[in-house]
């Protein structure tokens, strides 16, 4: 193989990476466009997730979690739910779900215990981005083609399953997000084995921590 052939192979790999990066960037942009009324800085255009479990349960769980972290202890118990509630023991509080935990700690570090509804909306929107990216990776591997992989990612991200009830039930959204990545890792493990089995188990464990049984 001469130098020009090696250079051509290198350029082909770069184009492959750039095209896939463009697909992921497109998915991200479309998610932002889909939720533009939540993200817009114009108060007259701004919308919020509708009242329901998202606002009355999952946001309140996170408010209590942020308050506990801000005061330097774990959210073991909340006195504000009914006659008291074992918050840490409730699987849907997802206290140790890595993304929620990191995001809550960031908010606490910046603003103390003031975890806003918008903060939780940002977390939900981020999971739509992850769902699209993970689905693209899985479909790209199985189908070995970019356009079908992109269509698959957009179908899962904006289809009725994720955009109807899961935005109200944050635990469902955040758990379902990891399914395509789990399938991707299992599929890759069939051919490469080794650490891919461990990675698939790790992704499954993360999904379990998101709180949907």
CA distance 212 to 141: 27
Residue spans of the domains in the chain: they are 3-42+120-209, 53-119
**What does the DSSP 8-state code read for residue 167?**
T
Radius of gyration of the chain (CA): 20
Q: Bigger pLDDT: 1 or 159?
A: 159
Residue 212: phi, psi to the nearest 5?
Answer: -100, 120
Q: Which residues contact 63 (CB under 8 A, 6 or more apart)?
A: 113, 115
What is the pTM assigned to this prediction? Answer: 0.90
Average of per-residue pLDDT across 132-149:
94
Q: pLDDT tens-digit profile of 16-69?
A: 678 899 999 999 999 999 999 999 999 899 999 999 999 999 999 999 999 999
pLDDT at 192: 84
Q: 78 pLDDT band (50/70/90 cuts)?
A: confident
**Per-residue pLDDT at 8 exceeds 70:** no
């Amino acid at each position: 193989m001469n130098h020009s052939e090696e250079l051509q192979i290198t350029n082909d790999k770069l184009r492959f990476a750039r095209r896939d990066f463009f697909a992921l960037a497109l998915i991200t942009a479309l998610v932002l466009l889909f939720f533009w009324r939540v993200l817009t800085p114009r108060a007259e255009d701004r919308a919020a997730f509708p009242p329901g479990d998202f606002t009355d349960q999952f946001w309140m769980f996170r408010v209590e979690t942020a308050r506990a972290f801000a005061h330097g202890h774990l959210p073991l118990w909340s006195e504000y739910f009914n006659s008291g509630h074992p918050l840490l023991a409730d699987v849907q509080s997802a206290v140790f779900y890595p993304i929620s935990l990191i995001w809550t700690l960031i908010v606490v570090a910046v603003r103390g215990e003031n975890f806003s509804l918008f903060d939780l909306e940002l977390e939900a929107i981020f999971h739509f981005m992850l769902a699209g990216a993970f689905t693209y990776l899985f479909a790209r591997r199985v189908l070995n083609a970019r356009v079908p992989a992109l269509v698959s990612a957009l179908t899962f991200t904006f289809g009725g399953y994720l955009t109807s009830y899961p935005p109200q039930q944050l635990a469902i959204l955040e758990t379902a997000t990891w399914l395509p990545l789990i399938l991707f890792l299992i599929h890759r493990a069939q051919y490469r084995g080794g650490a891919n089995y461990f990675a698939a188990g790790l992704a499954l464990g993360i999904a379990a921590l998101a709180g949907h049984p």
